[in-house]
Structure 1
Amino acid sequence: MAELCRKNALPSVGCVIMASGLARRFGSNKLLADFGGRPLLFRALEVTATPALAARVVVTRSAKVKALCDAQAVPCLLHSLPGRNDTVRLGLEALLEQCPNLAGCIFLPGDQPLLQRETLEALITAFAQTQKETERAIFRLGARAADGPDTVVGSPVLFGCGYFPALRTLPEGKGGSVVLKAHPEQVQIVYAQRREELLDADTPEVLEELSAIAAQWCVT
């Protein structure tokens, strides 16, 4: 689990890669499913391999995911607790052990393969440049709706350190959305270049669609 806490000019931001889902709709561990010739989780590992992050950790219930992360020298926490709140708490606490002075933490689902590293870095840059106090800032990824001016919001979400106590004591089975709903006035949107970056792979059919989009992006 040991990893150096990187230091750079931006406020220290960590990232919890959420890989503890049961994938009931998918039918198997989707993070190990093929995406472009490699396990789907590799995309999250690639996106978070940026010096803009002070530290990262994968949190999972899967021994196979843990082995994959170990082979890539990516910190990974294996657990058997049931709730989404457990994943959030364990990941945040693991990061704080490495970097006690974290200014913020990103929570990134492991099944969002079209997210680009530049988009993640833009989230961190926006957090660093906020005119509000960073400890009370919340940034989440958004995109313009395809059929109008409305905004579609999703993950990842970056919480300032002022919300760490609440994130460590979430209600049973709940995630960071509890904090988002409690502080809507603090939430700011960072827009992705492409709305497809917000899509996650809930089913094998959706994963196939996302794979086709990724292949098109490589060509264009």
Structure 2
Amino acid sequence: MPAQPEARFAGIILAAGLGSRFGGRKLLAPFRGGVLLDRAVDAALAAPLDPVILVTGADARDVEAAARARAASAGRDLLCVHAAEHANGLSESLMAGLAAVPERCEGAVVFLGDMPNLPADIVARLIGALRPRHLAAAPLFRGQRGHPVLLRRELFPSLQDLQGDKGAGTVLPGLDDRLLLVEHDDPGIVFDVDRPEDLHSS
């Protein structure tokens, strides 16, 4: 069997949030026979990404244990990093994840831990459509930009100034034609869980 090509991009799963609107411990909520976080872990591990980095914050020990157990059931492992200042917002989690991306990687694909319905093909489609001029790529559902988001390493320095609850989405519009938007017909790229009732509408 021929050797598989080395992955060009790392995966980052942001799983550090407090889940305040949910009432706390959102990513550990029971969901489809496991916990909510399982689905993001599955999506990242199924994509052509290596390593897959889990960023923890709130409930760090339990979140890491749940994610490692899910990965182990697939015969895989995760690189886990902790965002010590996660309470300051999404930007801190993103910075912790980007800092852990190995130098060999061209960039990273960022997943949100509370998005359980991502289509299995989305990362391969983003990478496959990428051209040298693109600094980032994101899926598009009926005009709404979704996740996961691919970030080339050249973009990392411009993300260092993000503060509070701002993620990479705040800098994407300014990229103009250097941002690749890939149409997809699956609403899972824009659906996330904010409140307990969302678990039953997915």
TM-score grouping bracket, smaller chain normalisation: 0.7 to 0.9
Matched, 1:8 2:12: no
Counterpart contact for 2:146–2:189, Cα < 8 Å: no
State the identity as a percent: 29
Matched, 1:189 2:181: yes
Task: Give me the whole-angstrom Cα distance separating, in 1, the residues matched to 2:167 and 2:93.
Answer: 9
For residues 104-153 of structure 1, what are the alpha-carbon distances to aligned partners after superposition, in whole Å with 9 as ceiling and x for unaligned? 211110111110221222122222xx2x43xx421111112xxxxxx111
* TM-score, with length taken from structure 1: 0.78
Is the partner of 2:163 in helix, strand or coil? coil
Task: Give me the whole-angstrom Cα distance separating, in 1, the residues matched to 2:82 and 2:156.
Answer: 21
Task: Give me the whole-angstrom Cα distance separating, in 1, the residues matched to 2:136 and 2:43.
Answer: 20
Task: Give me the whole-angstrom Cα distance separating, in 2, the residues matched to 1:31 and 1:51.
Answer: 21
Matched, 1:23 2:19: yes
Matched, 1:91 2:94: no
Task: Give me the whole-angstrom Cα distance separating, in 1, the residues matched to 2:173 and 2:125.
Answer: 23
Matched, 1:122 2:125: yes
Counterpart contact for 1:69–1:76, Cα < 8 Å: no
Counterpart contact for 1:140–1:153, Cα < 8 Å: yes
The equivalent of 2:111 in structure 1 is 108
* TM-score, with length taken from structure 2: 0.84
For residues 144-189 of structure 1, what are the alpha-carbon distances to aligned partners after superposition, in whole Å with 9 as ceiling and x for unaligned? 2xxxxxx11122111122101122x133213212321332332221
**Mean CA deviation greater in 47-56 or 20-29:** 47-56
Is the partner of 1:200 in helix, strand or coil? coil
- Extract unaligned runs of 5+ from structure 1: 1-5, 145-150, 211-220
For residues 67-88 of structure 1, what are the alpha-carbon distances to aligned partners after superposition, in whole Å with 9 as ceiling and x for unaligned? 2233333222123213322211
Counterpart contact for 2:83–2:92, Cα < 8 Å: no
Counterpart contact for 1:33–1:40, Cα < 8 Å: yes
**Offset at residue 54 of structure 1 (A):** 2.4
Matched, 1:170 2:161: yes
Task: Give me the whole-angstrom Cα distance separating, in 1, the residues matched to 2:63 and 2:171.
Answer: 28
Is the partner of 1:140 in helix, strand or coil? strand
- The 3 A distance-change label for structure 1 pair 34 and 192 is farther
Task: Give me the whole-angstrom Cα distance separating, in 1, the residues matched to 2:31 and 2:40.
Answer: 12
The equivalent of 1:202 in structure 2 is 194
Alpha-carbon RMSD: 2.0
The equivalent of 1:48 in structure 2 is 44
Task: Give me the whole-angstrom Cα distance separating, in 1, the residues matched to 2:83 and 2:137.
Answer: 28
- Extract unaligned runs of 5+ from structure 2: none
Task: Give me the whole-angstrom Cα distance separating, in 1, the residues matched to 2:16 and 2:118.
Answer: 19
Is the partner of 1:54 in helix, strand or coil? strand
Counterpart contact for 1:106–1:158, Cα < 8 Å: yes
**Offset at residue 9 of structure 1 (A):** 6.3
